[in-house]
Chain A
């Protein structure tokens, strides 16, 4: 088993009485691009702030590259490249000024690499930050997160507010710059189509806990939609049923760990098998997060 770049265990956090994280457990393998999914307000940003030592957990711990985020937050921030959602930098600084300014906080800042990135990301060195477009601003934030050659990069909804073209362009840079360098990328987003082509691992955060954490490929393989033409209404006995919905005369069942054996069992129990469909990440996420599993599986 490979080493984990990020380890989170039993993490609990509440804003006053509002419990946001209710025991998060997560392992992020070293060198992976890890998609951290959740609806708006699910606690993704809170988890990231706890990882960076910007918040104190009520219980549990998190470590990045073996360093405890609470005990040594400064060392954690030294080895992490962080890009916040809708990150704004100092508008009065010029790009070359902000790069130089930030470099003074990181002993391992790589000037050569940063210069290369400035050209690659097409950022005008002399321009003031306030004159940059949203796309350029995101690219600058990415550059600033990478300049010290971090081992772990945390991107918190990095494409928030970007138009579809700028978003695609940004993701192209992320893939190009990070996938080949062995850097661990922790990518939080609520836009699943943005995560799908990039992430090799996925975790879904819902209601304060991780409800699923798996390799993207395995997740796609294991969750299937089974379409039946049946008059039966109660499907709660199906093991791993995530969602059941009626579409006209047919019933669509989203099932996890959907092996051939399980499909045969469904066929035998309910009859009227029509077909089995693979789901995209968007549909899988929906099934896990808003699926009417268990007792509510009556359609």
Chain B
């Protein structure tokens, strides 16, 4: 039962994955080879770019596309647990979301590991990017689950980014006004960048792990509810 479901999702996602990997790979390859910018800048551009756009791109098509073309209801009628359909969609989606970051990591290590940045720093940046991608992917898919329009799902993701930007602004304001950290950064998946140095790595990770787990479970419930809905 699992194999044919994976096969179907893979067929639907493979071109998106190839597209993401190609764009990011080409950027990292050209950037690190030409050395127009420092290695860290190339890494940050590729990580930020892929961790913002890939989750949006994949989240848009995962459920909304199937809802709008009506195939989701044929999927629900299969003799398969609806939760299994959801889990496979989310896992395959997450793999595809992470793939450009993995490409960027491999190229960075091979071409510029230890050149300007230490290997551990290269890995650290990419882990942070992967963390952001997964959080962004899960919250966008789940909060946009009931939309049958892909554009609305993308807007939901953008709204989350806007909320996190607001948290950063509050954090910066608090720092400049009162000279203290407000820990609003913990809410944003970028909290790593700010808090990792001041021992905040674990709280940020735990906070987002709990957040993602809660969203994932909520998503399972929302996905099940879709089965009873009209297109």
Given A87-B74, A88-B69, A90-B71: A54 and B227 interface contact (C-beta under 8 Å): yes
Interface pair A88/B74, CB less than 8 Å apart? yes
Interface pair A86/B77, CB less than 8 Å apart? no
Distance of A54 from chain B, by nearest CB (Å): 4
In the complex, chain B residues whose CB is within 8 Å of the CB of A84: 73-74, 77
What 0/1 pattern do residues 79 to 93 of A give for CB contact below 8 A with B?
000101011111110
| Cα-based distance from A105 to B74 in the complex (angstroms) | 13
A49 contacts B by Cβ under 8 Å: yes
Interface pair B70/A87, CB less than 8 Å apart? yes
Nearest A-chain residue to B4, judged by Cβ: A104
In the complex, chain B residues whose CB is within 8 Å of the CB of A296: none
| Cα-based distance from A77 to B74 in the complex (angstroms) | 12
What 0/1 pattern do residues 38 to 61 of A give for CB contact below 8 A with B?
000000011001001011000000
A106 contacts B by Cβ under 8 Å: yes
What 0/1 pattern do residues 81 to 123 of B give for CB contact below 8 A with A?
1100000000000000000000000000000000000000000
Q: Which of B1-23 contact A (CB under 8 A)?
A: 1, 3-4, 7-8, 11-12
Interface pair A55/B79, CB less than 8 Å apart? no
A78 contacts B by Cβ under 8 Å: yes
| Cα-based distance from A91 to B69 in the complex (angstroms) | 9
Nearest A-chain residue to B81, judged by Cβ: A74
Distance of B13 from chain A, by nearest CB (Å): 12
Interface pair A88/B12, CB less than 8 Å apart? no
Interface pair A77/B81, CB less than 8 Å apart? no
Interface pair A82/B228, CB less than 8 Å apart? no
Q: Which of B51-82 contact A (CB under 8 A)?
A: 69-71, 73-74, 76-82
Distance of B223 from chain A, by nearest CB (Å): 12
Distance of A74 from chain B, by nearest CB (Å): 5
In the complex, number of A-B residue pairs with CB atoms less than 8 Å apart: 55
Interface size of A in residues (CB-CB distance below 8 Å): 24
B198 contacts A by Cβ under 8 Å: no
Nearest B-chain residue to A101, judged by Cβ: B4
Interface pair B79/A105, CB less than 8 Å apart? yes
In the complex, chain A residues whose CB is within 8 Å of the CB of B80: 74, 105
Nearest A-chain residue to B78, judged by Cβ: A105
In the complex, chain A residues whose CB is within 8 Å of the CB of B76: 54
Interface pair B227/A49, CB less than 8 Å apart? yes
In the complex, chain B residues whose CB is within 8 Å of the CB of A74: 79-81
B230 contacts A by Cβ under 8 Å: yes
Distance of A122 from chain B, by nearest CB (Å): 21
In the complex, chain A residues whose CB is within 8 Å of the CB of B230: 45
| Cα-based distance from A57 to B76 in the complex (angstroms) | 17
What 0/1 pattern do residues 96 to 139 of A give for CB contact below 8 A with B?
00000110111000000000000000000000000000000000
Nearest A-chain residue to B84, judged by Cβ: A74
Nearest A-chain residue to B3, judged by Cβ: A104
Distance of B76 from chain A, by nearest CB (Å): 6
Distance of A95 from chain B, by nearest CB (Å): 14
Interface pair B227/A55, CB less than 8 Å apart? yes
Nearest A-chain residue to B15, judged by Cβ: A92
Nearest A-chain residue to B228, judged by Cβ: A55
In the complex, chain B residues whose CB is within 8 Å of the CB of A105: 1, 4, 78-80
| Cα-based distance from A105 to B5 in the complex (angstroms) | 9
| Cα-based distance from A104 to B6 in the complex (angstroms) | 12
Partner of B77, one of A52, A55, A90: A52
In the complex, chain A residues whose CB is within 8 Å of the CB of B70: 86-88
What 0/1 pattern do residues 188 to 216 of B give for CB contact below 8 A with A?
00000000000000000000000000000
In the complex, chain A residues whose CB is within 8 Å of the CB of B3: 104
Interface pair A92/B69, CB less than 8 Å apart? no
Nearest B-chain residue to A102, judged by Cβ: B78
Nearest A-chain residue to B227, judged by Cβ: A54
Given A49-B227, A54-B228, A105-B4: A77 and B78 interface contact (C-beta under 8 Å): yes
Q: Which 5 A-B pairs have the closest CB atoms?
A: A88-B70, A55-B228, A77-B79, A54-B227, A104-B4
- 7 residue pairs A–B, Cβ–Cβ below 8 Å: A52-B77, A54-B82, A84-B74, A84-B77, A87-B74, A104-B1, A104-B3
Given contacts A88-B73, A105-B78, 4 further A-B contacts (CB under 8 A): A45-B230, A84-B74, A88-B70, A91-B69
* A residues whose Cβ falls under 8 Å from a Cβ of B: 45-46, 49, 52, 54-55, 74-75, 77-78, 82, 84, 86-92, 101-102, 104-106
* B residues whose Cβ falls under 8 Å from a Cβ of A: 1, 3-4, 7-8, 11-12, 69-71, 73-74, 76-82, 227-228, 230-231
